Structure 1
């Protein structure tokens, strides 16, 4: 048991001090966004908005995320990741506090759009910082550590948020959210100041290539949008399926969803460490992760047996654990020859787009054609994502062989001379 524990700890070795600090800042920030899971309840119970109103507000939420990710990438390339992260965290803190004083439908739509615009400027800047503070061989594990921080933050946030609502009211949520963002800013300024922090991989490109001209990256982005739409069903449509079809209680649904976070915490870092030491390519691993996630939906239609839900959750969890870290590392690799902020922004935008359409589309399909047909449609989307990732792998392999052929010919010419 002791050996297993030591082996687990060893998977975290070699990561820079700055990456650990960045993970702590991310944990504080994500744990602080505890208002988000309770937003629909707050809007309907406290502000008496209709479900239709809430739908439009969530659309404004998603659009703010898209614009913020794009703007964050642009500013990161112009003024640097540090200034963007500090600005985003600090201003988001004050905007969260101010959000509780908006009571009308139009003002709340504009307010949540602005909050998400500023808040999601942080994401591309953070990923560029992560790349700078990581050795090239540690980038995938660094991303995995950030993912652990995000998962822990999202796990702790709703639990703490529920306590705050019962003791302080919904207003307390906005205050705590704002204060945690400001605390995260103070941590950032004190421990990640560029004058103090150690840059391990400072990539400077003479003639940066636009991400919009990178054919392989554009194929990858479309695949990630589709994968994001499929993946997000587990956090919107799937709980309804558990309750309406399999008649699980809220407690049982919570345990099943909690398995996802538990498996990520327990297995993701050792799994990534092991996969990094194999000969698999990043594109091949993303393809395998997408296949596992797609299978997690189609198997639900095979049998009414309750245990299939656990198998589905396991398949999705391992699919997520493989696809997300390696897709992020793939983006970092592509960004080395271009505008890093632009690349990381487009990667963030891919999942913001998935958020805009994924939740709403899944629930509408379930209502219109039933859960069984919905899982067939979602599996079809997963298959399209898998097909695109397969095309990406073939394209990259062809490019690699072409480069090797040119290199061989050049070496032959040199020998002939």
Structure 2
């Protein structure tokens, strides 16, 4: 046990002070995002929206995320990541304050589109900030620390949100969310102000930067990640329904299964990434390995005899997530060195926004029209397509590395 704890804490060594502040800001911001997990309940119970209306609001939510990620990438290049994050945090806080007073359907659709667009301005900006504050050899672990903060925030947020709803009602969520966002903004001002913060990676800007829209291999990589996202989001939409309707699990059992994902990430992701970096794992190979594990996890749904197989399947899927996402982030950041980092990371964030817009709906429609088994087979087929694209990217990246090696010898 002592050896594990020692290894766990050693995996955090070497990260810059600024990265730790960035993680704390992320934790405060994400822990305050309590409205989001309860959004469908709020719309149904408090505003008496129909299921169809709730679906349209969630669609606006997804498109807001897409728009925010795109605009955030542009702003990060134009005015810098610090100002972009600050505008996002303060603007989101004020948006939460105002949104509680809107009750009509179309106003709610527009309101949530704008709120999420403002909130997701910060997504590419956070990636650019992380790149600036991390040494090149620490980028993957720095990204993992931010993921850890996000998971902790999302774990604490719903629990606190449930207590607030029980105590004072849904309107309390909007006030607490707003205050937490603005608090994160003030924390940013006092810790990462350009006058106080030290940029670790000085190789941020280059002459004649390449547009990400002209970087063919990067676009193929993002398509593969978007397909990966379509598969992965099933664990937050169709899979819980499968647990309930087919495996007859209780809400408590479903909650424990889903909570296992966050627990495994909290305990093992950082040591795993530190180990992978020491062993020199390839970024693209790690993404491929993670995607394979996530695809394999759906096989466990075909074995209906033992509930314990569902636990194994969740652990396998989580292991795939732990390997694929940090190295995918790091690969995108490395590729962004070719051009404007904000634009590159904006497209990266948009790929996952597209996964949320289409992934949940595709899964639900397949279940409704065919069956859960057909849905799992379809998702494994999507996994195979994503793998083929990633193998193409790997082949191209190897050619690039070989060419750079030859040039360096001249």
C-alpha distance in structure 1 between counterparts of 2:174 and 2:303, whole Å: 44
Residue 347 of structure 1: aligned partner: 348
Residue 319 of structure 2: aligned partner: 318
Residue 63 of structure 1: aligned partner: 63
1:365 equivalent in alignment to 2:383: no
C-alpha distance in structure 2 between counterparts of 1:96 and 1:225, whole Å: 29
The alpha-carbon deviation at position 4 of structure 1 amounts to 2.1
The alpha-carbon deviation at position 3 of structure 1 amounts to 2.7
Aligned pairs for 1:152-167 (under 5 A) are: 152-167=152-167
Aligned pairs for 1:12-411 (under 5 A) are: 12-202=12-202, 203-408=204-409, 411=410
Post-superposition CA distance 1:178-211 (Å, at most 9, x none) = 0100100010000110110011003121111111
CA contact (8 A) 2:61 2:112 kept: yes
C-alpha distance in structure 2 between counterparts of 1:280 and 1:83, whole Å: 35
Post-superposition CA distance 1:317-363 (Å, at most 9, x none) = 00000000000000110111200000110110000010111112111
C-alpha distance in structure 1 between counterparts of 2:97 and 2:233, whole Å: 28
CA contact (8 A) 2:247 2:304 kept: no
Judge which range, 240-249 or 293-302, deviates more. Answer: 293-302
Give the secondary structure class of the aligned counterpart of 1:37: coil
Give the secondary structure class of the aligned counterpart of 2:205: coil
State the TM-score, normalized to the length of structure 2.
0.98
Structure showing greater radius of gyration is 1
Give the secondary structure class of the aligned counterpart of 1:36: coil
Judge which range, 83-92 or 293-302, deviates more. Answer: 293-302
* RMSD between aligned residues: 1.0
CA contact (8 A) 2:205 2:340 kept: no
Judge which range, 393-402 or 61-70, deviates more. Answer: 393-402
CA contact (8 A) 2:205 2:339 kept: no
CA contact (8 A) 2:211 2:339 kept: yes
The alpha-carbon deviation at position 313 of structure 1 amounts to 0.3
Consecutive unaligned residues in structure 1, runs of 5 or more? 412-417
Give the secondary structure class of the aligned counterpart of 2:222: helix
C-alpha distance in structure 2 between counterparts of 1:219 and 1:311, whole Å: 31
